[in-house]
Structure 1
Amino acid sequence: MAPTQDAQDTPDGYVGLDAEHAERQAHDRGWSTVRQLPPGAIVTMEYRAGRLNFEVRDGTVTRCWKG
């Protein structure tokens, strides 16, 4: 399933949300893969359509980006 292209579903809209709620919301909006990462995690640089990445600190999304 392709990610939602709705302008109201931008990655910045997930920042500040509880990580579990944010992940459910992202899946409900069509993101096929949601990745929760700790601050400073080393990740590969390949871009994957349909993936949303969350940086999570203390159970809250502090950063979010596509791919």
Structure 2
Amino acid sequence: MAPIPKPDAEPQDEPDAYVGLDAAGAERRARERGWTTVRSLPPGAIVTMEYRQGRLNFEVRAGRVTRAWKG
């Protein structure tokens, strides 16, 4: 039987640190810190709820991050 693969560790980064940043700068910073997927969403967007290792989500209003969360 093949071994179960172990996922890569997520960046040791607090999502709340991105709140208030401009969206483009926040995305650049997230990628520099090792997030493999960065998703910017408008307020109230309907999104899938599956957890994806290495993904950082931003809710963006008027070009600024108003909320950030992993997965």
TM-score (norm 1): 0.91
Q: 1:4 Cα shift? A: 1.5
Whole-Å Cα distance in 2 between the matches of residues 38 and 55 of structure 1? Answer: 6
The reply to whether residue 17 of structure 1 matches residue 37 of structure 2 is: no
Q: What per-residue deviation string (whole Å, max 9, x for no partner) do you get for residues 15-54 of structure 1?
A: 0000000000000000000000000000011000000000
For structure 1, the 5+ residue unaligned runs are none
1:45-64 → structure 2 map (5 Å cutoff): 45-64=49-68
The structure number with the bigger radius of gyration is: 2
Q: Which runs of 4+ in 1 moved over 6 A?
A: none
CA RMSD of aligned residues (A): 1.1
Identity %: 75
Q: Secondary structure at the match of 2:16?
A: helix
* Number of positions where the alignment pairs a residue of Structure 1 with one of Structure 2: 64
TM-score (norm 2): 0.86
